[in-house]
Amino acid sequence: MPHDASASESALIRNETQRRWSLALPALTVITLLSIAPLAVMVAYSFMQAGQYAGVEPGFSLDGWRAVFFERDFFDDSLIPATAHLSILGRSIALALATTALTFVFGIPTAWFIATRPQSSRGFWMFLITVPFWTNLLVRTIAIQEVIRADGTLNRILLATGIIDEPLQMMFTNGAVLVGMIYVYLPLMVLPVYAAIEKFDFRLSEAAYDLYASRLYCLRRVVLPLMWPGIIAGSILVFIPALGAYVTPRLMGGGRAMMWGNLIDLQFGQGRNWPLGAALSITLTLVVLGALIWYARRAAKGDQANG
């Protein structure tokens, strides 16, 4: 009898496992076709030879990967660091980190304000936060471009109030790209942080005040640790798309503030060097993967510290 019960239990577990795999099969198929397969193609292209006019030619070559970090010296044909690529990578990481930090600075008060409104009015404020998602990214970028360009709304207001004597040139700079990305990605920080604050038990902060904790100490030791999952989620949602941004740097930065996504597009387009473009794409993927691992470890440490 125990043997029959054990066999029956094993059969039930096996059937349940098969049922779960069958339910997950459509999603796994979509992920394979739309994510893993294109990534495999990029990996294969990165180890091929560049075609004469475009595309790739059969044959193993490391020229694409070598060109990511090195270039040939014009005089003696020796390998030297590809300073242009490295500077673009540094700019991309710096702007993505700055975007994440500033959306955090602006997003925390915004999410706190919404979460502390009466229940009847929170829907209205969340509606205002999600309105930008109703329009295309290109349209939103052009809208902020119209605000900060030389004859845009901001300069008109500053000139009319006498604060400046001549228009400020803000377009086609790193600052313009940063402003555009903050405007585009701010809702992605607000939403997860709001979800974390909404679950916060405000009696904990009241207890901290009763124990003579200052507002800053309460924020640092009580509020922020409990908001940590939302902060991590918001940082991931902002940093990853900001690192590979293409439309916003293209419109706001022009050719002066090129980012990694623009460099990839350049190699597949005018540069006609598909192996280099593929190697740049995989490099970006590895950087994003490294960021995800770091965020995951930080989140795990935060959970251990708070648990």
Q: What is the pLDDT of residues 26-35, one digit of tens each?
A: 888 888 888 8
Please check whether residue 145 is in contact with residue 251, taking contact to mean a CB–CB distance below 8 angstroms: yes
State the amino acid at position 305 in one-letter form. A
| Band (93; pLDDT cuts 50, 70, 90) | very high
Residue ranges of the domains in the chain?
1-46, 90-306
**111-132: average pLDDT:** 88
- The helix or strand, by DSSP H or E, that contains position 72, with its residue range, turns out to be strand 70-72
| Band (186; pLDDT cuts 50, 70, 90) | very high
pLDDT, tens digit, for every residue of 247-258? 999 989 877 788
Average pLDDT, the chain: 86
Question: What are residue 71's DSSP bridge partners?
Answer: 80
Closest CA to 64 of 77, 90, 82: 82
Model pLDDT, residue 305: 58
Please check whether residue 252 is in contact with residue 261, taking contact to mean a CB–CB distance below 8 angstroms: no
Model pLDDT, residue 211: 77
Please name the residues in contact with 247: beta carbons below 8 A apart, sequence gap of 6 or more: 137, 138, 141
Sequence-separated contacts (24+) of 130-138 with Cβ below 8 Å? 130/187, 130/191, 132/184, 132/187, 133/187, 137/184, 137/247, 137/248, 138/247, 138/251
Model pLDDT, residue 179: 92
Phi, psi (degrees; rounded to nearest 5) at 172: 60, 40
Length of the chain (residues): 307
**243-250: average pLDDT:** 90
Cα dihedral: 24, 29, 34, 39 (round 10):
100
What are the CA-CA distances from residue 111 to residues 6, 18, 62, 194, 300 (Å)? 52, 42, 48, 5, 23
Can you give the pTM of this predicted structure? 0.84
**Burial call 156-184: b when 16+ CB within 10 Å, e when fewer:** eeeeeeeeeeeeeebbbbbbbbbbbbbbb
Model pLDDT, residue 213: 76
State the amino acid at position 236 in one-letter form. I
Please name the residues in contact with 231: beta carbons below 8 A apart, sequence gap of 6 or more: 104, 192, 193, 196, 224
Return the residue matching tokens 């390998």: 79
**Largest CA-CA distance found in the chain, in angstroms, rounded:** 94
Closest CA to 187 of 131, 243, 248, 135: 131
Q: What is the third-level CATH fold of 90-306?
A: MetI-like fold (1.10.3720)
- pLDDT tops 80 at residue 271: yes
- pLDDT tops 60 at residue 284: yes
- pLDDT tops 80 at residue 109: yes
**Residue 56, SS3?**
strand
